[in-house]
């Protein structure tokens, strides 16, 4: 019971953080409303849908923090690289077929979202674990060794059916 309560507290704090970021305002009222809306969201999801939010969506604080760190870091690193490529005139569109080894639909969506966050890559099509990605100036080999494999390895730890 205690670990379940802690998972609800962590989720509520995560939702509060998102609420504060979306409101672009850090004051007591915004934080209070974030806590209240986060707690209500977790409580109603568990009660009405009769599911455990954390179990259903594989959310753990380690996953969330590591995922956000990789995306934030690479948004800047890849963004600077894309700017340099543009100024050098080394920008060629390239379509890459990427097959994820993840089987969990939620984790595949997280991976596809992570691919679209940094500049220079756009997930054009996704069917199951297969994605077509439009990149700016990146070849298949470079693309696979970049963030996407790192994020996929992170997400695979939470996918019980990953191959």
Q: Are residues 71 and 14 in the same domain?
A: no
pLDDT in tens, 128-146: 788 888 887 666 565 666 6
* pLDDT for the residue 28: 93
Q: Are residues 88 and 45 in the same domain?
A: no
Q: Are residues 43 and 104 in the same domain?
A: no
Say if 133 falls within a structural domain.
Answer: yes
Would residue 109 be called left, alpha or beta, if left means φ above 0 and alpha means ψ between -120 and 50 degrees?
alpha
Q: For residues 107 and 66, is the Cβ–Cβ distance under 8 A?
A: no
Say if 163 falls within a structural domain.
Answer: no
Q: Are residues 85 and 32 in the same domain?
A: no
Say if 161 falls within a structural domain.
Answer: no
Cα distances from 46 to residues 11, 52, 54, 107, in angstroms, run 12, 5, 10, 20
pLDDT in tens, 11-64: 888 888 888 888 888 899 999 999 999 889 888 887 787 776 666 666 677 777
What does pTM read for this prediction?
Answer: 0.65
Say if 138 falls within a structural domain.
Answer: yes
Query: Into how many domains does the chain fold?
Result: 2
């Amino acid at each position: 019971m205690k670990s379940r309560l802690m998972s609800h507290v962590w989720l509520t704090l995560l939702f509060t953080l998102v609420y504060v970021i979306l409101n672009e305002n850090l004051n007591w009222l915004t934080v209070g409303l974030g806590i209240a809306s986060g707690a209500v969201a977790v409580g109603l999801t568990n009660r009405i849908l009769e599911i455990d939010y954390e179990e259903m969506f594989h959310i753990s604080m380690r996953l969330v923090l590591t995922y956000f760190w990789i995306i934030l870091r690479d948004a800047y690193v890849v963004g600077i690289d894309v700017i340099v490529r543009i100024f050098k005139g080394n920008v060629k569109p390239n379509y890459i077929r990427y097959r994820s080894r993840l089987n969990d639909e939620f984790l595949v969506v997280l991976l596809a979202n992570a691919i679209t966050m940094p500049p220079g890559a756009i997930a054009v099509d996704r069917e199951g674990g297969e994605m077509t990605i439009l990149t700016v100036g990146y070849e298949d080999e470079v693309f696979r060794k970049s963030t996407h494999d790192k994020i996929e390895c992170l997400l695979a730890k939470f996918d019980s059916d990953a191959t």
